[in-house]
Structure 1
Amino acid sequence: MARSDTGPGQAYASAAPLLYTPQVNINFLQPLLEAAGPSGFEARAAKVWSEEAATFAHRVYSDHYGNVYAELNPDAGRPIILMGHLDEIGLMVSHVDDKGFISVLNLGGWDAQVLVGQRVRLLAEEGDLLAVIGKKPIHLMEASDREKGSKLEDLWLDTGLEAEDVRRRVPVGTVGVIEQPVFTVGERVVSKALDNRIGAYVVLEALRQLHGAGVPRRVIAVASAQEEIGAFGARVASYQLDPEAALVVDVTFETAQPGVDVKKVGRAEFGSGANLSVSALTSPKIVKGLIDTARRHEIPYTLSANPRRTGTDADEVALTRAGVPCGVVSVPQRYMHSPSEMVDMRDVQACIDLMAAWVGELPETSDHSR
């Protein structure tokens, strides 16, 4: 998650939305978003991603850690990698009481306020179970309690089953995700898991463009695991691949939503395009190359200032082995870490086009040193 600000010379004006038309592969994106894939348990989402990758990539495979890979030109030397994390935040069962009510812990960074009244899909024994998140009704609260925020330890999951059935089917360690449908409003998509399933979508669609252009380089799209609990999958994947350079995709804060102080987080409104992170951990050459590419191709973009860490998989990739030159490309998003995250597909398309153009125009021998 990167802070953002407007980049110099870009084709962006807040008074007039950009006429940048996305090409949405909804037959891939919707099932990818709907798949349950909390951190460490990404297999269902990985299956959707892998099956789509297999329609065009030269090689598709996974590792023991849950990362999934799609390659072009596997024998063409050290790769350029495009990485977006596949996991979503979720919940893990910690206790079932004598009445069958389920206590849970965060699997990733939840604000308990957005969980109240939601439905959860538990990846349970004998098949998935739906549960509701319960809280004491306002009628039964003391006046002082009504002003307090909810805490996760005061909430519970209720499947409607008897305690014996719950304990059999939902042992401690069972994971779950929010159950919410995908819907669209014009160019905007609303769903759970957009952070960062949309990044996994972006890297595979960029790889598809490179395949269509016949790019001779070895390029690997990586749908990484466990970013939401520490970017552990990125560490494993980048060590294994030993890339020449990497572009990492994540989401950043959309700044037209109420309550955002642009003096602190910068500016990246819907329709402003791809957000590029400027950080101590990103490569100045790659950032400049992305900006130059965006200008040549009239792809809208903004810049973000992240003096130290970027808060993305790039923080791990950049420190792998002897260091990997990285760039971070982000999609502006509203309502991050909620059941109803929102992105604009124009910005998603800008990220896809920019990444594909940058990789496609790299010289045969590239120097990414600072």
Structure 2
Amino acid sequence: MPDAQPAVNRDFLFSLLSQAAPSGCERRAADVWKKEAGTFARVSEDHYGNVYAELGPEGAPTIALMGHLDEIGLIVSHVSKEGWIHFLAVGGWDPQVLVGQRIRLLAPGGDLLGVIGKKAIHVMDQEERTKASKIEDLWIDIGLDGEEVAAKVPVGTYGVIEQPALMVGNRVVSKAIDNRIGGFIVLEALRAIKDLDLKHRVVAVGTSQEEIGVFGAHVSGYRLDPVAGIAVDVTHETEQPGVEKKKYGAAPFGSGANLSVGPMNNPTLLRQLTEAATREGVPYTLSASGRYTGTDADALTLVRGGVPTAVVSIPNRYMHSPSEMIDERDARACIDLIAAWVRGLSAENDFTR
């Protein structure tokens, strides 16, 4: 029996996920995103690594849909005379995840593959065996002598985990779900409304440098000056061990789009999203945030005179690891919800709290 039709555009998704694009070095993912966007929308980019796709009247009030394209990575800080490559984290790593991984270095002369080195358990003393690894205790080995490594790998070279995207059962697994999936969703939502007579200029943005401080959202939000915006990111899938529903709410695989409720989220926009979901039968869940959301929405909310924002998230297992996992049905729900919300907007909207 042939496989069921994928719930989403899997070819585009896997092309996006396969790119090496850590924070500050998003070019490869941005190029894939922009090429896809160019098949149905007006495209542009800025100097900071953000890419834009837009539909609707150019002079109309702007609606921003943001999903960041960067993934967590590494940056080379020192190369020893023996050829050991030491590095710093780019974004939030659990160092235990790095132990034993293969690494792709985005070197000036072409990509180089290496492995993360660590002292073997056989040569550790008893106390060392009980301690968690720290990044400063790890290194990258690319299998070359010291002089050649120094010539090929300058300080400042970026690296990412070398793992392919793949289907595991009915789920998508990748090192870059967070948050290549957000960039995917906002562009697919834009595609879903491409044949509408839009009342707004609707701009999907593949943002840069979210993982190190939501910096791309600051730049792109200021440039667009939107009347409202949605940030799409990942949230913790709550059926996995160790994720407490009493803290994160219930967001299991198959539950649809997850909407953030909290002080920085605009309640009028949230109500519009829940009404759109109910109207069109799109599944969703709610999760509370007591302060900020930890997404691009935090930056967009405070741009210029302030922008009403909402956060739409997709449940994700094993966040910030080489094996992040999502369910395509939830991605579909996020796409459908955002498109339904845009379709329901009137020419004049009051987002007053």
TM-score if structure 2 supplies the norm length?
0.97
Task: Name the counterpart of 2:30.
Answer: 46
Contact 1:231 1:316 survives alignment (8 Å): yes
Answer yes or no: is the 8 Å Cα contact 1:187–1:346 preserved in 2: no
Deviation at 1:23, TM superposition (A): 2.6
Which residue among 208, 227, 237 is the counterpart of 2:191? 208
Report the CA distance between 1:323 and its aligned residue.
0.4
Deviations 1:56-102 (A, max 9, x none): 01x10100000000010252412101000010000000000011010
Residue identity in the other structure for 1:24 = V
Q: How many Å apart are 1:22 and its aligned residue?
A: 5.6
Equivalent residue, structure 1, for 2:308: 325
- 2:136 is aligned to 153
Query: What is the SS of the residue equivalent to 1:330?
Result: strand
Aligned length: 349
How many angstroms apart in 1 are the aligned matches of 2:234 and 2:176? 11
Counterpart in the other structure of 1:289: 272
The answer as to 2:18 corresponding to 1:34 is yes
**Alignment of 1:25 onto 2:9:** yes
CA contact (8 A) 1:70 1:222 kept: yes
Query: How many Å separate the matches in 2 of 1:263 and 1:56?
Result: 43
TM-score (norm 1): 0.93
**Structure 2 counterpart SS, 1:267:** coil
RMSD after superposition: 1.1
Partners of 2:131 and 2:296 in 1: CA distance: 35
- Take 1:214 and 1:74, find their aligned partners in 2: how far apart are those partners? 9
Separation in structure 2 between the aligned mates of residue 120 and residue 207 of structure 1, nearest angstrom: 34
Aligned to 1:63: 46
Matches within 5 A, 1:124-203: 124-203=107-186
Q: Establish whether residue 273 from structure 1 lines up as the match of residue 256 from structure 2.
A: yes
Q: C-alpha separation between the residues in 1 aligned to 2:197 and 2:72?
A: 36
Cα distance in 2, alignment partners of residues 214 and 165 from structure 1: 58
Structure 1 residues 84-141: Cα deviation after superposition (integer angstroms, max 9, x where no partner): 0010000000000011010000000000000000011100021000010011111111
Instruction: Flag structure 1 segments of 5+ consecutive residues without an equivalent.
Output: 1-20
Q: Which amino acid aligns with 2:211?
A: E
- 1:91 counterpart residue number: 74
Deviations 1:169-201 (A, max 9, x none): 110000011110111134310001100000000
User: Which letter maps to 1:39?
Assistant: S
Which gives a bigger RCO, structure 1 or 2 (Cα 8 Å, sep 6+)? 1
> Secondary structure of the equivalent of 1:220?
strand
Give, in whole Å, the separation in 1 of the partners of 2:126 and 2:273.
Answer: 55
Q: Percent identity?
A: 61
Q: For structure 2, which runs of at least 5 residues remain unmatched after alignment?
A: none
Native 8 Å contact 1:76 1:216 kept in 2: no
